[in-house]
Structure 1
Amino acid sequence: MHPKLIIQLLALLGLANGMPVIMNKLMGKRWSYPMDGGARFVDGQPLFGASKTVRGTLVAVLATAAGAPLVGLTWKIGVAAGTAAMAGDLFSSFLKRRMRLHVGDRATGLDQIPESLFPLLACHLRLPLTALDIAAVIVAFLLGEVLLSLLFYRLHLRERPY
């Protein structure tokens, strides 16, 4: 097991998933274009939903690229982690829309596992990640996101806790 690497990756996941929320609070709807452009899937539901924005995705990737060297990883790892985290977030949103869940509805596990697993898979060839490391990051991220969402709610960064 690689405790330092686990902490480094959790920091990147925190940046990737937290920065869009913070940016939304700071900027509101400015430059907030939906990733799906308002498109609907064959089931008539939005592809991802209006809360998944180009701005949020770009901020997540840029923040993880900038943050990676600060935690001892390369900016390329940061880009890979941020991009894959946002792909996992979009995948979760896509599935939640198919399940007819509304934007912001809680889906514990579905909200966290792809957002943490996708970046780990994207980085595993460049980092010495073991299966135990991957499991530890996913569990820590899931628990951490649930706890941090309560904090973000109390700080008025989220409209409701998960």
Structure 2
Amino acid sequence: MTVVTVVGATLGALLGATALGAGLYPRGARGFGLAVVDATWSLPNTLAGLVLLAWALARGNRVDRAFSARRGVLGLRDGVLPGFATTVGPVQAGVGLGVDDHEAVHVRQARLFGPLYLPLIAVNWVIATVLPYWLLYHDREAAPIDGVGAYFRYGVYPHTWHEEWAYRECSSR
């Protein structure tokens, strides 16, 4: 067995056991379809989410079964970054922070863009960092950029394409 096979089997078993225990996918055709997409087209995102899941569980985080049941999103009670919920593939770390609808957009984006999703995010982060196009429309009064931390927290992060999409979609509700 190769290392890749062992790691893949371990991550797959972790997701399978956790998904089964939490009742992750809705019953019926919709749930079956989401599971198929997560295991095929969106597999790189699912695997990255499994890495997040394994890391969070090893650090004492717990799956929120009530949140996860039939949602198609595996919710972890606590975030992995202070003050932020983080979603990778079908795994959301930090539920109940008032951002569940926003994070659900990221799950949908990952399923829609499949293997292109994470590379597109990475490329956009680099571009937004090096060529801050967002300064053309950034609200400097509401979110002043007064240091390196603020540059990333209030500048780069909220102005990446996937975050702007999620914020826009949730603000229109």
TM-score, normalisation: structure 1? 0.29
Bigger relative contact order, structure 1 or 2 (CA pairs below 8 A, ≥6 apart): 1
Which structure shows the higher strand fraction?
A: 2
TM, length-normalised to structure 2: 0.28
